[in-house]
Structure 1
Amino acid sequence: MKNMKKLIIYISFSLMAVVLFSGCKKSDFSENYYNPEKAVTADVPSLYAGLFKNETILPRYWNLYTFQVPVLGTYTQIAGYTNGSGVYEQPNNYTGDRWNDFYKNVMARYREIEKHYNALTSADDKEGYKLFLETAQVFVYDQATQIVDMWGDIPFSTAGGLNAEGKIILPGYDNGESLYNTALTELKRISDYLATVTPNNFYLSQLKSTDYVNSGDLLKWRKYTNSVLLRLAMRISYKDEAKAKSIVQGLLANPTQYPLAEDVLDKITIQPNSPTSSLAPADQKEIWNGFDVIPYPGAKMVNEIMVPTNDPRLPVYFTTNKNGVYNGVANTLTEAQVAEGATNFIFSRWDSTTFTYNHLLPGILVTPAEVNLLKAEAFERWGGGSAKDAYEKGIRLSIAFWYGINNISDRVEDKVEPPTEAAIMAYLAKPLVAYGTDNLNKIATQKWINFTIMQAQIAWSEIRRTKLPVLSFPNDPTSVAAPNPPTRLLYPSAERTLNTANYNAVKDKDNTTTKLFWDVR
């Protein structure tokens, strides 16, 4: 189970300082928090390195087993699940862990970077380490908007704040739409900063040694920044189409100023460099165990879309069943039927080389496939480029990305050869895939397939935003609380008990049917 020592030592800044409850010593805090890379003292680079070692991004047992696979996998139908009692109800302890992980692993660490940066007295250090602060903010806004996408209004601008006496401020909730607007403004500002900054080699070398995302490559940071900006602008595009269109067309019309992560080498990931890297799981079965709660994919994706089109990604996504065919779990099956099917090995499982036994499986932030499919949607809706070309490029890059993940795996015996050009062309010509009709549905479907379970949180947002692909969820008559999938997650119970006054300002929104501000279709 989760390392309980770290759970009580870290600070969950959305609530209160853990020291108020655990009485931990400053030395404990320093060992577990200030020095993620075992540095002797806290400084901006060491804190920066620790920001990216995040269990909700890197594939880890706890997040996969309790949240990513069973909760988001169900709401997106990427994972197979049983049509049983309470199937759509949220496991509040586990969704609360996902909330707390953001505040203790992203917000708290960023606030420490910010604090140390603000304490610098040298003008050279201020200028040199500004690069760390600005790129850290890209990551923070990426993660914070994902929390908005799951909960709505969240503590942010005052989360982790201290008053004049050094006491923790219980944070108020930022309006989700306002936080999105701030993120869009700040990401554009940071993008412009990164396009012009010429860092001193002393600071750049430190960035390269502590940057687990882009290894100090400023062009890749620009691409990451602009790609998140594109994603967020498209996310609001049905709520505020004029604003979204202006941002997106500004990006796409000026690729030199605003490069995107849109080519095969542009993937933005947190990548272990060896099976024994600190970014790789220490337990050889950790990822396998994380998937084991629901080791099967959903039937909609497998049986209705990927198998009929002979999707080239099938052999790197899933195993075949005992009959040598790919078969997902239909969400109309009873618990007894799923149990019988599992016993008789009639369901596919997630591929072990690509996923469950791959100790080099990265944490995925942005894939070039997603970027091109977002471009395809923008071109389809607003013009300005070839939607067909962007769509087909997105599919090709998805295939390349996932075969690349399969082929870097340390599980060498089951690697799969990439498909031929003829196989890809045949796939692109299939009626369910070929561009020309029902285009927005096809774009959304390809995004959904590309995200896999590893980015189910993005998939859930896209499904709610576009209502595509169309997913059918049987009603659960046994549940009063959640007879249907929710439109948002419920706030953790600790917010009601420990941050009561601020929670009361948003409690009327705290139900499973309140829609996110961008969810207007």
Structure 2
Amino acid sequence: MKFKSLYIGLIVAASLVSCTVEDFEENYTDPSKLAETTVGKQFSGMFYTNRAYVFPSYDDYFVNHRINSNRFTQAIGWVNAENQYVPGSSANNNIWNNYYQTLAQYREIEKVYAGLSEAAAADQRIYMIAAKTFIYDKTQKMIDIYGDIPFTEAGKLSQNGGNYNSSYATYDDAEMLYSMMLDDLAAMADEINNINVNSGVLVEFRTQDLINSGDLELWKKYINSLRLRMLSRVSNTGTFSSRANTEIGEILNNQGTYPVVTSNQDNVQWDVYALGTILPANTFQSGLEDWNGNIAGKTILDHMLNNDDPRLTYVFEPGLEAEPDYYMGLDPLLNGSVQNEMVLTGTLTIYNRSTISRNQYFPGLLITAPEVYFFAAEYYLKNGQDAMAQAAYEAAVATSTDLYVYLRGISNNGDSPAAVVPTVGDIEAYLAQDAVSWTAAGSNDAKLKLIAEQKWLHFNVINPNENWAEMRRLDLVDLEFWVDQSNQQGLPPYRWNYPGSEQTYNTENYAVVQPNDKLTNSLFWDMN
């Protein structure tokens, strides 16, 4: 694939990136040549630009999650070393640059759409609804990493006629962006219920839509499930608590109007249909496994072992030099030299290669049924609907188990031992144990802790961004970390620093947020 980019220096600030796919499947042309491009082609180009952050990839997992979010949640075990809680510059630059390349693609969709006649714009409105949903999903993730980010004026170099000086973007307040996105998503949730898509446009939309294949019902579920996630994320803040409670209730109690993902068959995901294309998760193996990035953390593995978790053999497998059925995670509190000796034995438990890292059909998961059920359980619990909360909690665990069975079932890899297929009775027995039983938990606080722990078990390494965000928001999973006495950042951070390119190229706007650019600053929704 060829890319055409406009840069100031080697890396541009957020507002200046204008990376467009020039030759994706010989269809997605330079958007500056409006006569040769369409809203639909730019729509697919936006997905393609972000593909390495939808599909599990080397860039995202090895460069980013291996040394950051997977450690901050103890989803993995690693050898302790100095400076381990400071996010690396490569990961920082990769995430930041790709997001703003994707945002620039979205701005091109806006630009082409703005040039349409009124009738054509009405016909192609579905593209704008879908594109905005996807970019808001990605924007939420960026906010949850950094806090305030450039957005409303960012990525507009092309729209500004190539004028660099007018394209440096200010940082938008994170809380304001959440409010804006929630307003827009609520409006789109109503609009899509009444939209009439021209039959010809719908045929094209089905081709260009790489996520939901043009299924309007799935786009409805994507919109409302994303609303549910974002509303839950801000539900404990003074600004949003009332709104979140009201709107979550409207969504969950009116599924005919505001459907959400409630089945793994309806998960919002980018599927791999054929190997050998430009799209499958063929770098996931090196992304997760290289440099021992797939070793099990002791706490997460022990939770599964001690409670006969039906997902155990789908999520983990014995180390390559371990005896069959021997499971041991890496203790995060041990001295680094001791940890390293344990790693070198090859007996530590690893994430299941056939289910996860060597599964070249592993989909790009955006929103899944289990996380929707977890959010529903939390809402019902807060509102005194205990039976509904228990039902949602148990549905979350059941659909999580089903998802891992599905992932192993579509895998083209058989390197790992055969998994133990869980029965309905196995899941029921698991849910009946005191350690995971809703009834045994007793208090609402204890039940919320169950939700947090199960969410952590479900997300593990397959959804690191949401895992870290929910860990910070709820702060209910009991984890102990080795303290790095050599660094001011002795424990995992609350956010990431902005990349150095912002100080270099977006200097004036960065200066405004610089006083708050600290790893120890909590995001606005983190009330712990």
Provide TM-score, normalisation by structure 2: 0.91
Q: Which residue of 2 aligns with 1:515?
A: 522
Q: Is the 8 A contact 1:77 1:298 kept in 2?
A: yes
Query: Alpha carbons of 1:7 and 1:80: their partners in 2 closer, same or farther (altered >3 Å)?
Result: farther
- Aligned position for 2:432: 429
In structure 2, the gaps of 5 or more residues are 30-35
Equivalent in the alignment of 1:459:
467
Q: CA deviation at 1:417?
A: 5.7
Equivalent residue letter for 2:493 = P
Structure-1 separation of matches of 2:12 and 2:141: 17
The 3-state SS of whatever aligns with 1:160 is coil
TM-superposed deviation, 1:166? 4.1
Residues 507 and 236 (structure 1), Cα distance of their counterparts in 2 relative to 1, 3 Å cut = same
Question: Residue 228 of structure 1 corresponds to which residue in structure 2?
Answer: 226
The secondary structure found in structure 2 opposite 1:269 is: strand
SS at match of 1:333: coil
Q: CA deviation at 1:9?
A: 6.3
Amino acid at match of 1:124: A
Distance in 2, Cα, partners of 1:153 & 1:379: 31
Unaligned runs of 5+ in 1: 20-28
Per mean C-alpha deviation after superposition, the further-off stretch among 489-498 and 234-243 is: 234-243
**From 36, 46, 69, the counterpart of 2:24:** 36
In structure 1, what residue type is equivalent to 2:199? N
Which residue identity does 1:317 align to in structure 2?
Answer: V
| Match 2:503 to one of 487, 490, 496 | 496
Query: Following superposition of structure 1 onto structure 2, how do residues 13-32 of structure 1 map, counting pairs within 5 Å?
Result: 14-15=13-14, 17=16
Task: Return 165-174 or 197-206, whichever deviates more.
Answer: 165-174
- Pairing partner for 1:157 from 149, 152, 155: 152
* Percent of matched pairs sharing the same residue: 29
Distance change >3 Å, CA 280–CA 165, structure 1 → 2: closer
Q: Measure the CA separation in 1 of the matches of 2:160 and 2:339.
A: 58
Q: Is the 8 A contact 1:14 1:159 kept in 2?
A: no
Q: 1: CA distance between counterparts of 2:41 and 2:431?
A: 46
Question: What does residue 243 of structure 1 align with?
Answer: 243
Structure 1 letter corresponding to 2:183: T
State which drifts further: 380-389 or 419-428: 380-389
Query: What SS does the corresponding residue of 2:269 show, helix, strand or coil?
Result: strand
Aligned mate of 2:173, from 152, 172, 175: 175
Is the CA contact (8 Å cut-off) linking 2:15 and 2:150 kept in structure 1? no
The answer for the alignment partner of 1:319 in structure 2 is: 317
Aligned partners of 1:250 and 1:517: how far apart in 2? 24
Cα separation, 2, equivalents of 1:430 and 1:341: 32
Summarize the Cα distance change of 1:13–1:255 in structure 2 as closer, same or farther, 3 Å threshold. farther
Which whole-Å CA distance do the structure 2 matches of 1:256 and 1:13 have between them? 45
1:119-518 equivalences in 2 (<5 Å): 119-121=115-117, 123-162=118-157, 166-168=162-164, 169-239=167-237, 240-281=240-281, 284=282, 286-291=283-288, 292-293=290-291, 294-303=293-302, 305-321=303-319, 322-323=322-323, 324-384=325-385, 386-412=388-414, 416=419, 418-436=421-439, 437=441, 438-480=446-488, 482-518=489-525
Q: Distance in 2 between matches of 1:124 and 1:272?
A: 35
Change (3 A) 1:228 1:333: same
Counterpart CA distance in 1 for 2:351 and 2:160 is: 52
User: Which moves more between the two structures, 239-248 or 504-513?
Assistant: 239-248
Paired residue for 1:93? 90
> Residues of 1 paired with 2:62 and 2:4: CA distance?
17
What secondary structure does 1:74 align onto? helix
Residue 164 of structure 1: how far off its partner (Å) = 5.8
Q: Distance in 2 between matches of 1:331 and 1:95?
A: 24
Change (3 A) 1:58 1:495: same
SS in 2 for 1:155: coil
SS of corresponding position for 1:154: coil
Distance in 1 (CA, whole Å) between partners of 2:140 and 2:12 is: 17
Aligned partner of residue 232 in structure 2, secondary structure: helix
Q: 1:118 aligns with which of 111, 114, 121?
A: 114
Shift of 1:455: 1.0
Tell me the equivalent position of 1:78: 75
Residue by residue over 1:428-457, the C-alpha shift from the partner in whole angstroms, topping out at 9 and shown as x without a partner, is: 112111112110010011111111212111
Using the TM superposition, give the Cα deviation of residue 34 of structure 1 relative to its aligned residue in structure 2, in angstroms.
4.1
**Distance in 1, Cα, partners of 2:219 & 2:211:** 9
Q: Is the 8 A contact 1:271 1:279 kept in 2?
A: no
Task: Kindly provide the amino acid, as one letter, of the partner of residue 26 in structure 2.
Answer: K
Are 2:39 and 2:113, in contact at CA under 8 Å, matched by a contact in 1?
Answer: yes
Cα pair 2:212 2:218 within 8 Å, conserved: yes
Q: Does the residue aligned with 2:21 lie in a helix, a strand or coil?
A: helix
CA change 1:199–1:467 in 2 (3 A) is: same
After superposition, the Cα gap between the structure-2 partners of 1:494 and 1:199, relative to the gap in structure 1 and judged at 3 Å, is: same
Give the SS at the match of 2:365.
strand
Residue 525 of structure 2 aligns with an amino acid whose one-letter code is W
Bigger drift between 85-94 and 184-193 goes to 85-94
| 2:351 partner SS | coil
User: Alpha carbon RMSD of aligned pairs, Å?
Assistant: 2.0
CA–CA separation in structure 2 for the residues paired with 1:8 and 1:135: 25
Query: How many residues are aligned here?
Result: 500
Q: Distance in 2 between matches of 1:112 and 1:165?
A: 12
